Amino acid sequence: MKIGIIGAGEIGRKHAEAARRAGAQVSWVVDVDPQRAAQLAQDCGADAAESPEPLWADQSTPAALVAVPNKWHADYAIAALCAGKDVLLEKPMACTVAECQGVNEAAIANDRVLQIGFVHRFTPVGRLAKSLVDQGCCGQIYHARAQLSLRRGIPGLGKWFTTKETSGGGALMDVGVHLIDLALHVMDFPRVGDVCGQTHATFGPRMKDYVYDTMWAGPPEYGGACDVEDSVSGLVRFQNGASLQLDIAWAGNFPQDCASSSMLFLGDRGGVSFELFGDHVSLAAERDGAIVDDRVDAPACDFYEDQLRGFLTAVETRRVTGATGQQGEDVQSVVEQIYRSAVGA
């Protein structure tokens, strides 16, 4: 199957490599930077373009993958759907719930497949945790906790990641959406009741005093902006009585043994916990009158490739098994409510 990639940055390249491993052919690479588009296109054996019109017109390419900065997610996704392309849209789905609704309406109106790139559903531990919960190992989930604590993980300080106009937000929009989606996915997307949260901008705004070892997306651009949060805490209460606690930090003065990324699901019959990029899930349960802890190893997998394979299958079968557009909208609704709560709205 042929697929076009819109956005030739690091994430676009990651998806292009996953497409190759999955057996798909990247036919077009679109980027406003012609040199970047040409380089990735050359690596993929694809055609390059500065605008998506040639991709829209190519009837032999039924699918498009949108991996541009967040501000343009909705615009490119809607244009692709209206051009008759099935779409794999990188996370976050968009910057607002209203934009998500517009994307979903375009998918429905044009009878197109829409999948959102919440790739943590496809990690070894993400899959295993979902399987264990679905098997009833935990019983009824009443509480979940998601934590990502990075000592110094602000990406591309001063670039689009930390510029609210382009990114829509900071740590919550970048990595928090992954954890929200995975938590809701494992819990079967219970209906949200109310949400509260607090954000902090502690390190990013004082860019020149920000001490770091390495920085994803290159060194700081001190002439740029950092007007987004670098940490956030939130509590989601669901209508079924369950709850979700969130603690997300791009940066913090965490002692080394406190910097971690983990998830925990507590049920009335058992609990599961795991590191986000770990190789096993810990399962606690009652057995023969005692509390026991089991280690369940997670089979290794290539989660970007598996996500891509799932999308290709969805294009063929017209059935999305990854994150749907409605689920992407639900995640964005939680994000918006946390932001509103943080400013007292």
Q: Look up residue 286 and give its two tokens.
A: 């009652």
The candidate with the shortest Cα–Cα distance to 184, out of 107, 115, 121, is 121
The helix/strand/coil state of 340 is: helix
Residue that has been written with the tokens 């740590």 in this structure: 171
Q: Cα 250 vs. chain centroid, distance in angstroms?
A: 15
Task: Calculate the alpha carbon distances from 331 to 26, 48, 318 in Å.
Answer: 29, 33, 23
For residues 223 and 194, the answer to whether their CB atoms sit within 8 Å is no
**Which residues, in sequence order, are CB contacts of 246 under 8 Å at separation 6+?**
145, 146, 147, 176, 179, 180, 197, 232, 233, 234, 235, 236, 338
- Residues of the chain by 3-state class (helix, strand, coil), percent to 5: 40, 30, 35
d(CA 175, CA 250): 8
Residue that has been written with the tokens 């902006």 in this structure: 225
Q: Residue 217: its pLDDT value, please?
A: 82
Which residues are 141's β-sheet partners?
267
pTM, 2 dp: 0.97
Structural domains in the chain, CATH included, are 2-119 (3.40.50.720), 121-303+333-342 (3.30.360.10)
Amino acid, single-letter form, for residue 55? L
Q: Which residues of the chain have pLDDT under 50?
A: none
Q: Residue 213: its pLDDT value, please?
A: 83
d(CA 64, CA 59): 12
Determine which helix (DSSP H) or strand (DSSP E) holds 42, and give its type and residue range: helix 34-44
For residues 117 and 91, the answer to whether their CB atoms sit within 8 Å is yes
Residue that has been written with the tokens 């496809």 in this structure: 122
Give, in degrees to the nearest 5, the angle at Cα 298 between 295 and 299.
140
Q: Are strands 63-66 and 141-149 parallel, antiparallel or unpaired?
A: unpaired
For residues 295 and 99, the answer to whether their CB atoms sit within 8 Å is no
Amino acid, single-letter form, for residue 91? K
> For residues 52-69, b (16+ Cβ closer than 10 Å) or e, as one string?
bebbbebeebbbbbbbbb
| Gyration radius of the chain over CA positions | 20
Q: Compute, in degrees rounded to 10, the torsion defined by CA atoms 9, 10, 14, 17.
A: 60
Residue that has been written with the tokens 């990324």 in this structure: 261
Determine which helix (DSSP H) or strand (DSSP E) holds 3, and give its type and residue range: strand 2-6
d(CA 150, CA 253): 9
Q: Residue 345: its pLDDT value, please?
A: 64
Q: Look up residue 148 and give its two tokens.
A: 């990502």
